[in-house]
Structure 1
Amino acid sequence: MLTALRSSMATRLSALPRDSRDTLFLLVVIAWVVLPQAGNLPLWCSLLAVGVLLWRARLALAGAALPGKWWLLGLLAATVAATLFTHRTLLGRDAGVTMIVVLLALKTLELRARRDAFVIFFLSFFTMLTNFFFSQSLATAAAMLVALLGLLTALVNAHMPVGRPPLRVAARTAGRMALLGAPIMAVLFVLFPRFAPLWGIPGDAMTGRSGLSASMEVGNVASLALDDSIAMRVRFEGAPPPQADLYFRGPVLSSFDGRQWRPLYPRLGQRPPTVRQGPGQLQVFGAPVRYQVTLEPSSRPWLLVLDAAAQPPAVPGFEVFATGELQWVLNRPVTDLLRYSAESHPQYRHGPPGSAAALPPDYRELPPGFNPRTLQLATDLMRESKAPPEDKAALVSAALNRLRTGGYTYTLEPGVYGEHTADEFWFDRKAGFCEHIASAFAVLMRAMDIPARIVTGYQGGEVNGIDDYWVVRQSDAHAWTEVWLAGRGWIRVDPTSAVAPGRVGAFQRLQAPRGIFAEAIANVNPGLALNLRAAWEAMNNRWNQWVLNYTQSKQLNLLKNLGFASPSWEDLGLLLIALLVAGASLGAAWAWWERSQHDPWLRLLARVRKRLEDQAGLQLPASCGPRHMATQVTARFGPQGRGLADWLLQLEAQRYARVQRASLAALQRDLQRLAWPT
């Protein structure tokens, strides 16, 4: 039945007039170009594009007339108003892309002549490029390569006005054009200077996503939906640390108003922490762990590094600052794929080891009127503790023991918390995800006069067995606490590991829901699903490393390898110009050689025809052969043209006679001595 339906559709399409067939093909290509933008466009714009393309396809199938200009003007005015209402502007990336898609869809309703088709072609090329404003992934690039071939096919087909040429003929020509242009594009990609920060398109509204945020509001999320997208990739030099020790440090939150945790301000711009006295004191021990991070766009200025990095990560093109809380930040948000090198020491001591008076009071402050039962719990724990009052580590252990034995659970659906979030966690719900647990634990620590703060970042990850990169996902986003103990400084305490040990390390990684197709493969063959995912992510990583992360520094390193002592972007430009000139010269040489290889017999005949036209005024068609030309010369010039006519007959014999009586070189010499009729 499916075969019969397909055959019926093919028969119906082949019976359509050429204009209708070409229009339908172009509409399919336009739909393919616009489809990846569906998630970035307003809903009304996507529906409008679908509706207009279907309307235009129906008109093409029916051979009906196109709508009048008043219809188009009305639709255009409505869409401009809708764009202005949605984006509050007609400028910028999001509004501009919306208008481009609208104009492309509406222009198909004016597709009457080849001129209209050419406008649609080049508008489609521009729309195709706008897909890279939102995503530069390997999947987007592959989809746009298909779109490029489709648009080139439609463009070549439009230049075949005679007859009904099959689309596969135009597709072969388009494929050859793409292959011929690929070397030029490769040279331009490698050598065209990249002027940071102009290279790349930053988002208008900071649209990049991250599992982290600049603040943490506890209890306002009823359920946590896991995002399985990749946050960063890490490659270690040598053996990596144990998975349970992979804490990638992000924003540090130290100010609490009863509901929301925020960073301490101002802290940006401090010098890197040193061993001198002060809140930023850092001592490191043992051998460092060296690694490279490929960070996905987050539209945030944070650098994710393992605890603890004493030196700023090497980030080309950015200035790196320390916050004084072991967090590293950049001078501008990360709006594109970013690769940097870092060095961390898993064994370290941070913070003044002496008196807590050296710390800002923010680390012990709690807002009045919040969490009274937690405050009472702190009093009870301190009263029940048999350790000396100055032994704060015993109080930390007591709180962790309560988490282990008190029936607390880790869940992604804790429901919405009320005003006293710590009270609800410790006494009522006894359930939450890492932010609830970390916040409640930090509040309890401060209630016992122990300085505490919350650190957010990523914990764990999984190694890709194909390329040996560690993949850290948004679902690995985590929150833990740090407490200050006399003589030891700031100590990491992860209360989530006391509630759910499997959440930390290699035991149980959080998994986002799979799609239908992926779920089906996983049910049939779980190993195959994991291998396919690893292979795809390894391909994406290669794309990221070699294409998206091909920066100006890599260009300059290429010039160093070519022998340039101190290369600059001017050297890149000169090398590019030299290669283009060399390529143009080779192309000219090829054209000259190809022209010289044309049939010399035909070139000699064409020269005679041209001379008869210029000197004697005899108009002869390009298809005229030697015998017909001789007849015309005799008829026009009589006996005066007999010598040229005989020469033409000899030229014919040289080509077609079984026995050649004269060589082509001899005929060329005879032609030079021949008297021409006038």
Structure 2
Amino acid sequence: MSSTAPISSGTSWQQKLGSLPRDARDTLFLLAVIAWIMLPQAQHMPWWSSAFAAALLLWRARLALTGTALPGRWVLAGALVIAIAATWAAHKTIVGRDAGVTLVVMLLALKTLELRARRDAMVVFFLGFFVLLSNFFYSQSLPTAAAMVLGLMGLLTALVNAHMTAGKPPLMQALRTAAKLALWGAPVMVALFLFFPRMAPLWGVPADDLAGRSGLSENMRVGEVASLAMDDSVALRIRFDTPGEKEPPASTLYFRGPVLSQFDGRNWQADPVSDAMALPQLRVSGEPIRYQMLIEPSKRRWLTLLDAVKAEPQIPPGASVGRLRMTASLQWLSWRPITDVLRVDAQSYTEFSHGPLQPAPELKRYLQLPVGSNPRTLALGEQLRSQLGADASATALITAALQRLKTGGYTYTLEPGVVNTIHTADDFWFDSKQGFCEHIASAFAVLMRGMGVPARIVTGYQGGDRNRVDNYWTVRNSDAHAWTEVWIAGQGWTRVDPTAAVSPGRVGQFQRLIAPRGAIASAVGNFVDVSTLEKMRAIWEAVNNRWNQWVINYTQSRQLNLLQSLGFESPSWTDLLRLLAASLSTLALLWLIWARATRPQRDGWSQLMHSARLRLQRAGLEGGASISARSLASSAQSRWGADASSASFAAALSDWLLDMERLRYAAPNDNMPSELNALRQRWRQLQRQRWPQPLPHQA
């Protein structure tokens, strides 16, 4: 891959590319493949690294097109120093996942600037395969896998093309060879995937940055949960063990997240971790609902399970999240953040209560309010109390507050805005009278506390959409919800969803508020009806769910389950190794059988001539494949024709060799098989005769 002559500018780009010398064409193809496998990294690397890599690749492409000499070593050394220094400045290190990937991408882009010989190309291929694999550190989704398969085929094509030294072979020829190699290697890949023991998750590299993505949080500022309605990404998927009519009703699908109890007027905050160590007092009734849930990576430690889970959920052995525990507020936490798709098998009781049944000191903090905040809401609480009487129960106070929400002209909206005052409850009850679920829940909890009823906020998800393709319920970030729990004597903590009083359809019939569509979605919607788009999305999400189930979430437990289905009573990792060895051995044997069956076969004349050559070599004549039958006849006459004892044998052998040559080059006719059989008979007669002994120096 050396410099080439420049191309004239008077032709079109298509003609230019077609007339490029092989070195320039191969270099441009390799640069395009490298750019393709680098592209997904742009969203994870610093902006300067993507710009730097793109500039280097464009520079190398220009050098290939113009035939300009490659830069010298001092220029490359300076660029290397800049890349290392910038990586250090951005990540404060040059090791670790993010810093390492950034540096490897820079090295790959720099290496293309010294792409002179095949040795340099081999280094580029090696780095290219490594960068391709590093994409899976960040995402193992189906689109990422499909994009990397294309990148893999591109690198294999370039690798095969680099070994085709003669002429200017078309890239399609190299692609066909690469596809055959990939196809032949696919059974080995499947065997390794199925049976290679998995002692940990496939991509067990810890993330350098465990900051949570868009989603639920341990802190809620009134007005911020509404922003999640703009996020249509999947938060979790759930499939019930009894699908269809036996599935729980929509109004009971509450997925519990962080529980918030501390309020400063604007923000609600979760209980401290030390408080979460207390054991909950959970009371359940009815039959449990059994289900399997797939939780998308959130970089958080909480499991948003269906309320309420009593027994410890089951997760795959060796999962990266570690052990699970329940907090005093019924929230299940993992030991480490969820950074991969996590499969959870659990059972929930939708009829439950928890917490103390009688007044206890621990309930006092659920009555605390900031001094001087929301005076009008507190006055409203006093008014309701006076109307119902000093001895009014908590249930009566809750009913009165919900009745005010139903009849007071309050509305449920997606864009209520963030309230820039500590009197957030006053703003909702008396001024704006509109809000998203967290506005309503927060104002309701403040009113309850103002009337002496312990209350707190529970955040999570409510509802979802049932995918008719695979029977999984899909819960999105746009299904984020906030409700309240109030404490009632004799019952404990009880769920009260005040949003249902303002907008009953939000909870009972899944009448979601829809975020405004973007320009692309609006344009597509003008040509494709909504039902078709919904069906397409359902199919895509079902396929993506299968990918997560059978590929990403193929854990050690699933390997052992596979072995049990194959007849192993107590499978272990040693059984996996034995089965892997047997599979690879079987594949190797099948390949050898196929190679032997498909190897080129000699025709009858060639087999007969090969047998004659071997016998002549043992007799002392040179019988290599490059020597013709006529030359062999001449050599036999020269060696044995002068001796009276062997002259007749030499003449018969010479005549046979000449007849063999004559048959080989004769025009095709129907008598050729019979003539070949006659020559076989004559050869058998010659073999039964006494052959002259080879000379001493030839023995």
Relative to the length of structure 1, the TM-score reads 0.89
Indicate if the aligned counterparts of 2:45 and 2:102 stay in contact, CA closer than 8 A: yes
Which residues in structure 2 correspond to 1:254-653 (within 5 Å)?
254-258=261-265, 259-270=267-278, 280-317=280-317, 318-353=322-357, 355-357=358-360, 359-383=362-386, 385-409=387-411, 410-514=413-517, 516-524=519-527, 525-592=529-596, 597-599=601-603, 602=606, 624-628=627-631, 630=633, 646=655, 648-653=657-662
For 1:253, which of 260, 265, 268 is the aligned residue? Answer: 260
What CA distance in whole angstroms lies between the structure 1 residues aligned with 2:681 and 2:305?
Answer: 79
What CA distance in whole angstroms lies between the structure 2 residues aligned with 1:416 and 1:244?
Answer: 29
Answer with 82-91 or 309-318: which moved more.
Answer: 309-318
Please state whether the residue corresponding to 2:230 is helix, strand or coil.
coil
State the match for 1:43 in structure 2.
Answer: 47
Residue identity opposite 2:331 in structure 1: Q
Answer with 19-28 or 344-353: which moved more.
Answer: 344-353
What CA distance in whole angstroms lies between the structure 1 residues aligned with 2:299 and 2:339?
Answer: 5
**1:669 to partner: Cα distance:** 8.0
**1:513 to partner: Cα distance:** 4.9
Please state whether the residue corresponding to 1:504 is helix, strand or coil.
helix
**1:445 to partner: Cα distance:** 1.4
Residue identity opposite 2:269 in structure 1: W
For 1:244, which of 232, 246, 251 is the aligned residue? Answer: 251
Instruction: Give the direction of change, closer, same or farther, for the CA distance of 1:661–1:540 in structure 2 (3 Å limit).
Output: closer
What CA distance in whole angstroms lies between the structure 2 residues aligned with 1:23 and 1:255?
Answer: 62
What CA distance in whole angstroms lies between the structure 2 residues aligned with 1:118 and 1:449?
Answer: 75
For 1:179, which of 164, 178, 183 is the aligned residue? Answer: 183
Please state whether the residue corresponding to 1:381 is helix, strand or coil.
helix
What CA distance in whole angstroms lies between the structure 1 residues aligned with 2:94 and 2:49?
Answer: 14
1:205-234, CA deviations, whole angstroms, 9 ceiling, x for partnerless residues? 126635212222335789666211101111
- What is the percentage of aligned positions where both structures have the same residue? 55
State the match for 1:19 in structure 2.
Answer: 23
Answer with 520-529 or 469-478: which moved more.
Answer: 520-529
What CA distance in whole angstroms lies between the structure 2 residues aligned with 1:588 and 1:229?
Answer: 49
Please state whether the residue corresponding to 1:292 is helix, strand or coil.
strand
Instruction: Give the direction of change, closer, same or farther, for the CA distance of 1:216–1:598 in structure 2 (3 Å limit).
Output: farther
Please state whether the residue corresponding to 1:555 is helix, strand or coil.
helix
Indicate if the aligned counterparts of 2:223 and 2:436 stay in contact, CA closer than 8 A: no
Answer with 550-559 or 254-263: which moved more.
Answer: 254-263
Please state whether the residue corresponding to 1:389 is helix, strand or coil.
coil
Matched residue pairs, number? 661
Instruction: Give the direction of change, closer, same or farther, for the CA distance of 1:638–1:305 in structure 2 (3 Å limit).
Output: same
Instruction: Give the direction of change, closer, same or farther, for the CA distance of 1:157–1:516 in structure 2 (3 Å limit).
Output: farther
Instruction: Give the direction of change, closer, same or farther, for the CA distance of 1:236–1:117 in structure 2 (3 Å limit).
Output: same
Please state whether the residue corresponding to 1:234 is helix, strand or coil.
strand
What CA distance in whole angstroms lies between the structure 2 residues aligned with 1:426 and 1:636?
Answer: 121
Relative to the length of structure 2, the TM-score reads 0.87
Unaligned runs of 5+ in 2: 1-10, 644-649, 667-671
**1:400 to partner: Cα distance:** 2.5
Which residues in structure 2 correspond to 1:54-203 (within 5 Å)?
54-197=58-201, 200-203=204-207
Answer with 173-182 or 500-509: which moved more.
Answer: 500-509
1:183-219, CA deviations, whole angstroms, 9 ceiling, x for partnerless residues? 1111111111111257543422126635212222335
What CA distance in whole angstroms lies between the structure 2 residues aligned with 1:598 and 1:436?
Answer: 86
Unaligned runs of 5+ in 1: 1-6, 272-279
What CA distance in whole angstroms lies between the structure 2 residues aligned with 1:223 and 1:101?
Answer: 35
Over the aligned positions, Cα root-mean-square deviation in angstroms equals: 3.1
Instruction: Give the direction of change, closer, same or farther, for the CA distance of 1:190–1:295 in structure 2 (3 Å limit).
Output: same
1:336-373, CA deviations, whole angstroms, 9 ceiling, x for partnerless residues? 111122212222222233x2226443222223343344
Indicate if the aligned counterparts of 1:338 and 1:549 stay in contact, CA closer than 8 A: yes
Residue identity opposite 2:502 in structure 1: V
Does 1:234 find its partner at 2:238?
yes
Residue identity opposite 1:265 in structure 2: V
1:640-661, CA deviations, whole angstroms, 9 ceiling, x for partnerless residues? 8877655543543565553325
Please state whether the residue corresponding to 1:342 is helix, strand or coil.
strand
What CA distance in whole angstroms lies between the structure 1 residues aligned with 2:229 and 2:351?
Answer: 34
Structure with higher Rg: it is: 2
Answer with 85-94 or 324-333: which moved more.
Answer: 324-333
Instruction: Give the direction of change, closer, same or farther, for the CA distance of 1:563–1:32 in structure 2 (3 Å limit).
Output: same
Indicate if the aligned counterparts of 1:456 and 1:479 stay in contact, CA closer than 8 A: yes
What CA distance in whole angstroms lies between the structure 1 residues aligned with 2:34 and 2:87?
Answer: 21
Answer with 295-304 or 552-561: which moved more.
Answer: 295-304
**1:540 to partner: Cα distance:** 0.4
What CA distance in whole angstroms lies between the structure 2 residues aligned with 1:570 and 1:48?
Answer: 48
Instruction: Give the direction of change, closer, same or farther, for the CA distance of 1:257–1:646 in structure 2 (3 Å limit).
Output: farther
**1:282 to partner: Cα distance:** 2.4
State the match for 2:3 in structure 1.
Answer: none
What CA distance in whole angstroms lies between the structure 1 residues aligned with 2:676 and 2:612?
Answer: 20
